[in-house]
Amino acid sequence: MRIVVENVAKTFIDSKREVTALQNINFAIEEQEFVVLVGPSGCGKSTLLNIVGGLMSPTDGLVYFEGTNQKQPNLAIVFQEIALFPWRNVFENVVYGLEEQGASKQEIQEKGQHYIDMVGLNGFEKAYPKQLSGGMKQRAGIARALSVEPDLLLMDEPFSALDAQTRTLMQEELLTIWNRTKLSTLYVTHNIQEAVYLADRVIVLSRHPGTIKEIIRIDMPKTGRDSEQNREQFEKYSNQIWDLIRHDAQEALLEG
Protein backbone atom coordinates (compact mmCIF):
# COMPACT_ATOMS: atom_id res chain seq x y z
CA MET A 1 0.00 0.00 0.00
CA ARG A 2 1.16 3.49 -0.86
CA ILE A 3 0.03 6.50 1.16
CA VAL A 4 -0.34 9.72 -0.79
CA VAL A 5 -0.53 13.16 0.80
CA GLU A 6 -1.76 15.66 -1.75
CA ASN A 7 -1.82 19.44 -1.40
CA VAL A 8 -2.57 19.21 2.29
CA ALA A 9 -3.10 22.44 4.21
CA LYS A 10 -4.30 23.04 7.74
CA THR A 11 -5.40 26.31 9.30
CA PHE A 12 -6.39 26.55 12.94
CA ILE A 13 -8.79 29.32 13.84
CA ASP A 14 -9.43 30.28 17.41
CA SER A 15 -10.97 33.39 18.95
CA LYS A 16 -7.73 35.39 18.78
CA ARG A 17 -5.99 34.40 15.58
CA GLU A 18 -5.64 32.22 12.56
CA VAL A 19 -2.63 29.90 12.33
CA THR A 20 -1.68 28.29 9.04
CA ALA A 21 0.05 25.21 10.42
CA LEU A 22 0.57 23.45 7.07
CA GLN A 23 0.53 24.54 3.48
CA ASN A 24 1.01 22.81 0.16
CA ILE A 25 2.21 19.46 1.56
CA ASN A 26 2.84 16.79 -1.07
CA PHE A 27 4.61 13.48 -0.56
CA ALA A 28 4.02 9.74 -0.58
CA ILE A 29 5.04 6.92 1.72
CA GLU A 30 5.94 3.89 -0.35
CA GLU A 31 5.25 0.32 0.72
CA GLN A 32 7.82 -0.76 3.33
CA GLU A 33 9.25 2.73 3.58
CA PHE A 34 10.36 4.48 6.78
CA VAL A 35 9.72 8.20 6.41
CA VAL A 36 10.77 10.67 9.11
CA LEU A 37 9.37 14.17 9.55
CA VAL A 38 11.83 16.60 11.14
CA GLY A 39 11.64 20.29 11.78
CA PRO A 40 11.75 22.85 14.56
CA SER A 41 9.09 23.28 17.20
CA GLY A 42 5.76 24.37 15.81
CA CYS A 43 6.42 23.51 12.15
CA GLY A 44 3.40 21.23 12.04
CA LYS A 45 4.92 17.75 12.40
CA SER A 46 2.30 16.44 14.81
CA THR A 47 -0.51 18.09 12.88
CA LEU A 48 0.64 16.35 9.70
CA LEU A 49 0.95 12.97 11.44
CA ASN A 50 -2.54 13.38 12.89
CA ILE A 51 -3.94 14.21 9.46
CA VAL A 52 -2.27 11.16 7.87
CA GLY A 53 -3.65 9.05 10.74
CA GLY A 54 -7.17 10.37 10.21
CA LEU A 55 -7.32 11.90 13.69
CA MET A 56 -7.69 15.38 12.21
CA SER A 57 -9.05 16.54 8.88
CA PRO A 58 -7.10 18.86 6.62
CA THR A 59 -8.51 22.27 5.71
CA ASP A 60 -7.51 21.55 2.15
CA GLY A 61 -6.08 18.63 0.16
CA LEU A 62 -6.39 14.94 0.89
CA VAL A 63 -4.70 11.78 2.08
CA TYR A 64 -5.43 8.59 0.18
CA PHE A 65 -4.24 5.03 0.00
CA GLU A 66 -3.21 3.28 -3.21
CA GLY A 67 -2.97 -0.43 -3.79
CA THR A 68 -5.63 -1.43 -1.27
CA ASN A 69 -9.35 -2.09 -1.46
CA GLN A 70 -9.85 -1.03 2.10
CA LYS A 71 -11.44 2.39 2.45
CA GLN A 72 -9.84 2.87 5.83
CA PRO A 73 -6.61 0.88 6.09
CA ASN A 74 -5.37 -0.42 9.35
CA LEU A 75 -3.28 2.25 11.11
CA ALA A 76 -1.55 2.18 14.48
CA ILE A 77 -0.18 5.15 16.38
CA VAL A 78 2.50 5.38 19.07
CA PHE A 79 2.69 8.67 20.97
CA GLN A 80 5.36 10.16 23.22
CA GLU A 81 3.27 9.43 26.30
CA ILE A 82 2.13 5.86 25.96
CA ALA A 83 -1.40 5.61 27.32
CA LEU A 84 -1.44 2.10 28.73
CA PHE A 85 -4.55 1.09 30.62
CA PRO A 86 -3.41 1.02 34.27
CA TRP A 87 -5.88 -1.74 35.15
CA ARG A 88 -4.60 -4.06 32.41
CA ASN A 89 -1.35 -5.97 32.65
CA VAL A 90 1.24 -5.94 29.84
CA PHE A 91 -0.32 -8.83 27.96
CA GLU A 92 -3.82 -7.40 28.27
CA ASN A 93 -2.59 -4.01 27.08
CA VAL A 94 -0.74 -5.46 24.12
CA VAL A 95 -3.73 -7.44 22.88
CA TYR A 96 -6.23 -4.60 23.34
CA GLY A 97 -6.34 -3.76 19.60
CA LEU A 98 -6.70 -7.43 18.67
CA GLU A 99 -9.67 -7.74 21.01
CA GLU A 100 -11.23 -4.66 19.46
CA GLN A 101 -10.79 -6.25 16.03
CA GLY A 102 -12.63 -9.34 17.23
CA ALA A 103 -9.65 -11.69 16.86
CA SER A 104 -10.06 -15.27 18.02
CA LYS A 105 -8.76 -16.40 21.41
CA GLN A 106 -5.98 -18.36 19.77
CA GLU A 107 -4.93 -15.45 17.57
CA ILE A 108 -4.91 -13.12 20.57
CA GLN A 109 -2.72 -15.54 22.49
CA GLU A 110 -0.27 -16.17 19.63
CA LYS A 111 0.08 -12.65 18.30
CA GLY A 112 0.16 -11.13 21.78
CA GLN A 113 3.04 -13.38 22.79
CA HIS A 114 4.84 -12.96 19.46
CA TYR A 115 4.95 -9.15 19.74
CA ILE A 116 5.74 -9.19 23.45
CA ASP A 117 8.75 -11.37 22.60
CA MET A 118 9.68 -9.09 19.70
CA VAL A 119 9.94 -6.00 21.94
CA GLY A 120 11.81 -7.94 24.63
CA LEU A 121 9.09 -7.96 27.27
CA ASN A 122 8.81 -11.70 27.78
CA GLY A 123 8.61 -12.45 31.47
CA PHE A 124 6.69 -9.19 32.06
CA GLU A 125 3.35 -10.27 30.64
CA LYS A 126 1.64 -10.07 34.03
CA ALA A 127 3.26 -6.81 35.16
CA TYR A 128 1.09 -3.71 35.46
CA PRO A 129 2.06 -0.34 33.91
CA LYS A 130 2.93 1.20 37.27
CA GLN A 131 5.59 -1.49 37.74
CA LEU A 132 7.32 -0.65 34.43
CA SER A 133 10.10 1.80 33.58
CA GLY A 134 9.54 4.42 30.88
CA GLY A 135 11.38 2.32 28.30
CA MET A 136 9.34 -0.76 29.14
CA LYS A 137 6.08 1.16 28.85
CA GLN A 138 7.20 2.34 25.46
CA ARG A 139 8.00 -1.24 24.43
CA ALA A 140 4.51 -2.31 25.52
CA GLY A 141 3.02 0.53 23.49
CA ILE A 142 5.01 -0.50 20.44
CA ALA A 143 3.96 -4.15 20.86
CA ARG A 144 0.33 -3.03 21.12
CA ALA A 145 0.70 -1.05 17.87
CA LEU A 146 2.46 -3.92 16.07
CA SER A 147 0.03 -6.59 17.25
CA VAL A 148 -2.73 -5.37 14.94
CA GLU A 149 -0.26 -5.73 12.04
CA PRO A 150 -1.07 -2.30 10.65
CA ASP A 151 -0.64 -1.18 7.04
CA LEU A 152 0.95 2.00 8.37
CA LEU A 153 2.66 2.69 11.67
CA LEU A 154 2.63 6.28 12.89
CA MET A 155 5.04 7.33 15.62
CA ASP A 156 5.06 10.81 17.19
CA GLU A 157 8.28 11.44 19.15
CA PRO A 158 7.97 8.00 20.76
CA PHE A 159 11.28 8.18 22.65
CA SER A 160 11.57 11.84 23.51
CA ALA A 161 10.48 11.39 27.13
CA LEU A 162 13.18 8.77 27.75
CA ASP A 163 16.69 9.35 29.07
CA ALA A 164 19.45 9.50 26.47
CA GLN A 165 20.78 5.97 27.01
CA THR A 166 17.37 4.32 26.99
CA ARG A 167 16.55 6.34 23.92
CA THR A 168 19.61 5.05 22.05
CA LEU A 169 18.74 1.47 22.97
CA MET A 170 15.14 1.91 21.90
CA GLN A 171 16.23 3.35 18.56
CA GLU A 172 18.40 0.28 18.01
CA GLU A 173 15.52 -2.00 18.92
CA LEU A 174 13.09 -0.17 16.72
CA LEU A 175 15.46 -0.61 13.78
CA THR A 176 15.79 -4.33 14.52
CA ILE A 177 11.99 -4.65 14.71
CA TRP A 178 11.58 -2.65 11.53
CA ASN A 179 14.09 -4.87 9.71
CA ARG A 180 11.91 -7.84 10.66
CA THR A 181 8.49 -6.32 9.93
CA LYS A 182 9.33 -3.77 7.19
CA LEU A 183 6.23 -1.81 8.16
CA SER A 184 5.50 1.39 6.27
CA THR A 185 6.18 4.01 8.92
CA LEU A 186 5.76 7.74 9.41
CA TYR A 187 7.89 8.93 12.32
CA VAL A 188 8.05 12.40 13.86
CA THR A 189 11.12 13.68 15.68
CA HIS A 190 13.05 16.84 16.56
CA ASN A 191 16.19 14.80 16.71
CA ILE A 192 18.30 14.92 13.54
CA GLN A 193 20.55 11.97 14.49
CA GLU A 194 17.48 9.85 15.15
CA ALA A 195 16.13 10.79 11.72
CA VAL A 196 19.37 9.87 9.93
CA TYR A 197 19.66 6.64 11.92
CA LEU A 198 16.14 5.39 11.12
CA ALA A 199 14.92 6.90 7.86
CA ASP A 200 14.77 5.83 4.26
CA ARG A 201 13.78 9.41 3.55
CA VAL A 202 13.72 12.48 5.77
CA ILE A 203 11.15 15.19 5.12
CA VAL A 204 12.41 18.52 6.43
CA LEU A 205 9.65 20.96 7.32
CA SER A 206 10.00 24.69 7.76
CA ARG A 207 7.66 26.74 9.89
CA HIS A 208 5.09 29.52 9.58
CA PRO A 209 3.56 28.11 7.56
CA GLY A 210 4.73 24.52 7.72
CA THR A 211 5.89 23.60 4.24
CA ILE A 212 8.25 20.95 2.93
CA LYS A 213 11.71 22.43 2.63
CA GLU A 214 13.41 19.37 1.26
CA ILE A 215 13.09 15.60 1.07
CA ILE A 216 16.39 13.80 1.60
CA ARG A 217 16.99 10.15 0.80
CA ILE A 218 19.37 8.57 3.30
CA ASP A 219 21.41 6.49 0.95
CA MET A 220 23.04 4.20 3.52
CA PRO A 221 22.37 0.56 4.44
CA LYS A 222 19.82 0.17 7.23
CA THR A 223 22.27 -1.58 9.51
CA GLY A 224 25.47 -0.18 10.91
CA ARG A 225 24.68 3.43 10.15
CA ASP A 226 26.25 4.42 13.44
CA SER A 227 29.42 2.42 12.82
CA GLU A 228 32.85 4.03 12.59
CA GLN A 229 33.12 3.44 8.87
CA ASN A 230 29.84 5.27 8.20
CA ARG A 231 30.56 8.16 10.53
CA GLU A 232 31.56 10.62 7.86
CA GLN A 233 28.49 10.01 5.75
CA PHE A 234 26.23 10.05 8.80
CA GLU A 235 27.59 13.45 9.79
CA LYS A 236 27.24 14.74 6.27
CA TYR A 237 23.50 13.97 6.31
CA SER A 238 23.09 15.36 9.83
CA ASN A 239 24.82 18.61 8.85
CA GLN A 240 22.80 18.90 5.67
CA ILE A 241 19.55 18.63 7.67
CA TRP A 242 20.76 20.97 10.41
CA ASP A 243 21.68 23.60 7.82
CA LEU A 244 18.12 23.42 6.51
CA ILE A 245 16.58 23.73 9.98
CA ARG A 246 18.97 26.07 11.77
CA HIS A 247 17.36 29.37 10.83
CA ASP A 248 13.83 28.23 11.70
CA ALA A 249 15.01 26.62 14.93
CA GLN A 250 16.60 29.91 16.01
CA GLU A 251 13.37 31.76 15.28
CA ALA A 252 11.37 29.16 17.22
CA LEU A 253 13.73 29.62 20.18
CA LEU A 254 13.27 33.40 20.18
CA GLU A 255 9.51 33.09 19.99
CA GLY A 256 9.53 30.68 22.91
Ligand X SMILES: Nc1ncnc2c1ncn2[C@@H]1O[C@H](COP(=O)(O)OP(=O)(O)OP(=O)(O)O)[C@@H](O)[C@H]1O
Contact residues for ligand X, defined by CB under 6 A: 12, 14, 19, 21, 39, 41-47, 190
Among the residues of the chain, which ranges form H helices?
A: 45-52, 90-94, 96-100, 105-118, 134-147, 164-181, 192-198, 231-255
Between 101 and 191, whose beta carbon lies closer to ligand X? 191
Helix (H) / strand (E) containing 131: none
Task: Specify whether the CB–CB gap between 118 and 171 falls below 8 A.
Answer: no
CB of 38 to ligand X, least distance (A): 9
Upper half-sphere CA count for residue 157 (Cβ side, 13 Å): 16
CB of 249 to ligand X, least distance (A): 10
CB of 189 to ligand X, least distance (A): 9
Between 12 and 85, whose beta carbon lies closer to ligand X? 12
Between 102 and 256, whose beta carbon lies closer to ligand X? 256
Between 103 and 199, whose beta carbon lies closer to ligand X? 199
CB of 69 to ligand X, least distance (A): 31
Between 8 and 148, whose beta carbon lies closer to ligand X? 8
Upper half-sphere CA count for residue 84 (Cβ side, 13 Å): 28
Angle 247-249-251 from CA coordinates, rounded to 5°:
75
CB of 126 to ligand X, least distance (A): 35
Taking the C-alpha atoms of residue 90 and residue 170, their distance in angstroms, rounded to an integer, is 18
Taking the C-alpha atoms of residue 78 and residue 177, their distance in angstroms, rounded to an integer, is 14
Pairing between β-strand 18-29 and β-strand 152-156 as defined by DSSP bridges: unpaired
